[in-house]
Structure 1
């Protein structure tokens, strides 16, 4: 019984060492204690054309800055322009009907809590170089 424990512990240590050997940082070989330079904040466009989607059900990218948009538990600034009751006045795209469904596909009168924090899925488009190599190709006719 004791030998099984020792073998299991040695195997676990070997597996964890192998896992740590594979971990790399997006910062490269720079250590945590090294003097790090903060990269410059990318300039967001004021407004730009609607951006193409690359795959089915991709959350649309945001073609404007969200810096001044207040988004917290008590206020969702995105809904001031994109809610069903306001999008016609503002000319903004409306929130998808799926955002008003709970996890059981029951329609709600307000945006579902799981869809309330827009910036979890929707991101502002910036012209930034990729952090990692990416050879993704859009599916089908998407991205054309």
Structure 2
């Protein structure tokens, strides 16, 4: 019985070390940093202005932001996006109006101002950046 247990233990230890020796094929986006080490600060990427907007890849994709937003403020008290994109100002500012769905609560009640569910614009809408993709993307939307 002792022989069997010792043999199993030796086999398990050998298997552990063999597996660890050959498992170097996976690369992390963090590089060689330990998981518990603090991440590097993200470099500031240059925002790109796209005249005429950005073509959508699929029918219900939220529109991309075709202008710089680095000076915009979106917090609990202020949403400067609405200076141009609100129902009251979009025509004067020649900007697209925030969609009607942005003024509806989850219970279907229509509001005068943007719903709290849609208040933080950059959760769905993203600016264009001058940056290479982290991973290859072969997605093609339906035309």
Report the TM-score, using the length of structure 2 for normalisation: 0.72
In 1: Cα distance, 2:31 partner to 2:111 partner: 46
How far residue 110 of structure 1 moved from its aligned partner, in angstroms, is 1.1
CA RMSD of aligned residues (A): 2.6
Q: Which residue of 1 aligns with 2:74?
A: 71
Contact 1:70 1:77 in 2 (8 A): yes
Give the gaps of 5 or more residues in structure 1.
1-20
Query: Does 1:98 pair with 2:101?
Result: yes
Aligned residue for 1:76, secondary structure, equals coil
* Bigger RCO of structures 1 and 2 (CA < 8 A, at least 6 apart): 1
Contact 1:51-1:61 within 8 A present in 2 as well: yes
Paired position in structure 1 for 2:123: 120
Deviating runs (4+, > 4 A) in structure 1? 32-39
Which residue does the alignment assign to 1:18? none
CA contact (8 A) 1:47 1:65 kept: no
Unaligned runs of 5+ in 2: 1-22
